[in-house]
Amino acid sequence: MRRLTIALPYLWLLALFLIPFAIVLLISLSDPVRAIPPYLPTWASSDGLRDYLSQLDFENFVFLSEDDLYWKAYLSSLQIATISTLLALTIGFPIAYGIARAPDGWQPTLLMLIILPFWTSFLIRVYAWIGILGTEGYLNQVLLGLGLISQPLRILNTDWAVYIGIVYTYLPFMVLPIYATLGRIDKELLEAAEDLGCSRITAFWLVVIPLSKAGVIAGCFLVFIPAIGEFVIPSLLGGSDTLMIGKVLWEEFFNNLDWPVASAVAVILLLILIVPIILFQRNEQRQREAEA
């Protein structure tokens, strides 16, 4: 029973990550063909595995390194995901701290308000922002009505609209892990720091911030990883100048029908995301070993 319990996560990882990744990797080493199948070489039972593997090459990866479009898309995606993560952290940390410091009877209600948007379709929520951020949208109407602006602001079809959409969509992923970490902090630690002469701001900086590090890192990963490969939000809220790798993947798969190049783009994106995760896990392991 113990071996089965240990084997289940590995079987899940094998079925839903390693095998699909191996398939995508093989396609990325193939050549595109404008027919059926959409790539070559194909493996037949009469062919040996060595003959099949010998026909694979890194031509698609070389093509990606020579075309500026793809590297600009990677860099733009990293920039947008990083800025969105920082904005989500700036907004999410005070919200999580406020919920953690709220009376126990109010915390479930406040958490429900954070989770409530998930009860609505993701696509509908993104479409709603079109009506809010448009030139004749609700936001411009309110600002014009208050006399704060003299002419409508152009927010839709810009990078700012993408930032707003990503932060709004993934903000709960930032709030929940930070709240879970802050909820475990003993409030008496803050009182002890203040009794020893620290101001509230100093006590917050010296006690709360270090103890909430794990939740902050987890929240940043939960926002950054899906944001870097986001496709729907930049397609609906971003303009033609908004370049993200998710849009490039969609174009290669469905418009250009170039599966090998699209697979190569996906493999590089996955490698970019795996590296920080491995570094984070090693850092956490070192901290646990140091505490032990």
pLDDT score for 13: 82
Cβ(178)–Cβ(184) below 8 Å: no
Close Cβ partners of 169 (under 8 Å, ≥ 6 residues apart): 122, 125, 126, 233
d(CA 158, CA 154): 8
CATH of domain 18-291: 1.10.3720.10
pLDDT score for 74: 93
Q: Which residue has the tokens 């010296």?
A: 206
pLDDT score for 44: 58
Structure tokens at 106: 């109010």
Q: Cα Rg for the chain, rounded, in angstroms?
A: 24
Residues of the chain with pLDDT under 50: none
Close Cβ partners of 35 (under 8 Å, ≥ 6 residues apart): none
pLDDT score for 52: 66
Using alpha carbons, list the distances in angstroms from residue 251 to 126, 182, 239, 262, 265. 21, 42, 15, 8, 11
Structure tokens at 46: 């009469």
Phi, psi at residue 39, to the nearest 5°?
A: -155, 160
**Which residue type, as a one-letter code, is found at position 195?**
D
Structure tokens at 262: 């699209």
Q: What is the pTM for the complete model shown?
A: 0.86
pLDDT score for 276: 72
pLDDT score for 47: 62
pLDDT score for 42: 64
d(CA 156, CA 164): 10
